[in-house]
Amino acid sequence: MTAVVHNHASPQLLAEAVAARLIVRLSDAQAERGVASVVLTGGRIAAKIYAAVRDSPARDAVNWSRVEFWWGDERFLPSGDPDRNETQAREAFLSSLPVDPDRVHPMPAADGVDAAAAASAYADSLAAAVFDVVLLGVGEDGHVASLFPGYPALTDPRPVADVHDSPKPPPVRLTLTLPTLNTAAEVWLLASGAGKADAVREALNGAASLPAAKVHGRERTLWLVDTDALAPRS
């Protein structure tokens, strides 16, 4: 199935448009199944999107107590560390929404457990999960979640992998793997800024080695980008 690209004039417009889409997607899923499920990402555009959801006048179209929140990857740091994707999402929007704490499923923190055991524990917790939508920030090198080009996690058959010597700090991370991400009904790839333009262009041209080119929703794959991220090579 071909991916569809939606270009937006600015990072703020991108964030507001993705927030609006997410509200509608979660509301639709709740109308169909009674519950909705989203996989969150980290990164700069994600933080803007979460703030836009929090500030949206339409946000109460979603019953937030019936949304399952998962994470696509995590920086393996102690609980509460400001660099954890969980901390970012909680501060940007989860703490402002009437979520059910039992439906918020952060990846384990580096609180005395090793990364491989943490990956295995998260795999157990999501074994029965259904994902309506997976959000994935795209990195400058074309990584998504913590699947970096050329790294073993990219071909790891486990549902969740521990990543070591990450090219982007911190060095230890946890990530959903391709077999898990690609179970989602919809995958939304998010890219903002000129630094992402090479990765976006190469992924859309099907560069086989790029993680961002390897994720696909079962029903729909969207690239939600801004103009700078879609710019042709100068």
Ligand X SMILES: O=C1O[C@H](COP(=O)(O)O)[C@@H](O)[C@H](O)[C@H]1O
Instruction: Specify the residue, 10 or 65, whose C-beta has the smaller distance to ligand X.
Output: 10
The residue nearest ligand X at its CB is 43
Binding site for ligand X (CB under 6 A): 41-45, 73, 75, 85, 137, 139, 145-146, 168
Instruction: Specify the residue, 99 or 191, whose C-beta has the smaller distance to ligand X.
Output: 191
Q: How far is the CB of 184 from ligand X (least distance, A)?
A: 15
Q: What is the dihedral of CA 87, 89, 90, 96, to 10 degrees?
A: 160
- Return the amino acid letter for 166: S
Instruction: Specify the residue, 35 or 143, whose C-beta has the smaller distance to ligand X.
Output: 143
Instruction: Specify the residue, 137 or 217, whose C-beta has the smaller distance to ligand X.
Output: 137
Q: Is 2 helix (H, G, I), strand (E, B) or coil?
A: coil
Q: How far is the CB of 166 from ligand X (least distance, A)?
A: 8
User: Which DSSP string corresponds to 51-100?
Assistant: HHHHH-TTGGGS-GGGEEEEESEEE---TT-TTSHHHHHHHHTGGGS---
Q: Is 188 helix (H, G, I), strand (E, B) or coil?
A: strand
Q: How far is the CB of 154 from ligand X (least distance, A)?
A: 15
Instruction: Specify the residue, 85 or 221, whose C-beta has the smaller distance to ligand X.
Output: 85
Judge whether 226 and 152 are in contact, CB under 8 Å: no
Q: How far is the CB of 139 from ligand X (least distance, A)?
A: 5
Judge whether 151 and 183 are in contact, CB under 8 Å: no
Q: How far is the CB of 60 from ligand X (least distance, A)?
A: 27
Judge whether 161 and 153 are in contact, CB under 8 Å: yes
Q: How far is the CB of 34 from ligand X (least distance, A)?
A: 28
Instruction: Specify the residue, 44 or 66, whose C-beta has the smaller distance to ligand X.
Output: 44
Edge-to-edge order in the sheet of strand 173-176 = 73-75, 173-176, 160-163
Judge whether 190 and 19 are in contact, CB under 8 Å: no
**Distance from C-alpha of 198 to C-alpha of 36, rounded to nearest angstrom:** 34
For the chain, the residue count is 234
Q: How far is the CB of 146 from ligand X (least distance, A)?
A: 6
Instruction: Specify the residue, 26 or 191, whose C-beta has the smaller distance to ligand X.
Output: 191
